[in-house]
Structure 1
Amino acid sequence: MVVSIIAAVSINRVIGMDEVIPWNIRGEQKRFKDLTLGNSIIMGRKTYESIGKPLPNRQTIIITRNQELIIDNCKTVRSLEEAYRLLKDEEEIFIAGGGEIYKEALQYADKIYLTVIDKHIEGNIFFPEFNASDFNITYQEQVQAEIPYTYYTFERKTFEKEHRKS
């Protein structure tokens, strides 16, 4: 199973403001849809609530302490580890937020699909810092928009994968 983190961040690492994405850039979410369609995504309850519904054509796993929470077309689990066990036979799974889930998942990440918005944006939820030297940048594409952004794919270096799993 390949564990992939997928996120959009401002250049100052903001991913949210009070559980809401603090930008609306036409076309910016296309890569998220293209990569996650037909796959399983894991997210925290607050991230799910900010979206408000299960994403079409994706299995959605929600991490929550509230095991009474029942959401149509979604599965709930108590922890990231429980989500990994549930999806152990998947080829690639996507971690889709929020900040605490990203922070916890970073140590397991084989790939990071990161969209970097070329602007400082006010917010109170941040993407965790990570050691970029543990990864190779295998894809980079700059997109000109009303606020430019760049798509990156980081893949964990082989040595780091082996060391992390031992």
Structure 2
Amino acid sequence: MITMIAAAAENNALGKDNDLVWHLPDDFRRFKRLTSDHYIIMGRKTFETFPKLLPDRTHVVITRQEDYQPKGVIVVQSLVEALKVSKLDPQVFIIGGGEIYRQGMEYADRIELTRVHGKFDADTFFPAIREDEWKLIKEEHHPADDKHKYAFTYKTYDRRKD
């Protein structure tokens, strides 16, 4: 299964200047729980926002830079190549950024979306989820609280088969 996992605002904003525009500790924990022990596919810019490798995950980084080879990472030139090197994992995650999500829409079986309730100024966006292609199968709302400035809803979509 290929799953895209993201946190996006109501205007599909993902981030600005290679950073998130909100801080949701519960979403970080959920991301870690879902992606641990799996391959995570991302673009180079997304990878470079990490202070270090995420533990217990195999990092696959897509870049057009031919001499790019950070330690501990599988480097590929395309999403198709990333999916090929990840095929031994029955549950692969595409984790961003915006262009990789856009390309991933045609390959993904599931979307795990954290919908952040608000609209944000951003330079990177998640692609629109088309209701004719995707079916919402689960959602779980979380109100804002002392650790979460914004309310958010976990939404799980499966690709329609009908």
- TM-score bucket (shorter structure): over 0.9
Deviates more, 1:118-127 or 1:67-76: 67-76
Q: Which residue of 2 aligns with 1:46?
A: 45
Q: Which residue of 1 aligns with 2:156?
A: 153
- Compute the RMSD of aligned alpha carbons: 1.1
Alpha-carbon deviations, 1:111-139, whole Å to 9, x = none? 00000000111111111113123222121
Q: Which residue of 2 aligns with 1:33?
A: 32
Alpha-carbon deviations, 1:39-98, whole Å to 9, x = none? 000000000011232110000000011131121211100000111111122201000000
**1:105 shift after superposition:** 0.6
Percent identity between the two aligned chains = 35
After the TM superposition, which parts of structure 1 deviate over 4 Å for at least 4 consecutive aligned residues? none
Q: Is the 8 A contact 1:67 1:77 kept in 2?
A: no
CA distance in 1, matches of 2:92, 2:34: 10
* Matched residue SS, 2:105: helix
Aligned length: 158
Structure 2, gaps ≥5 residues long: none
TM, length-normalised to structure 2: 0.93
Alpha-carbon deviations, 1:13-64, whole Å to 9, x = none? 1001011111112322221111101100000000001123211000000001
Q: Which residue of 2 aligns with 1:81?
A: 80
Higher fraction of helix: 1
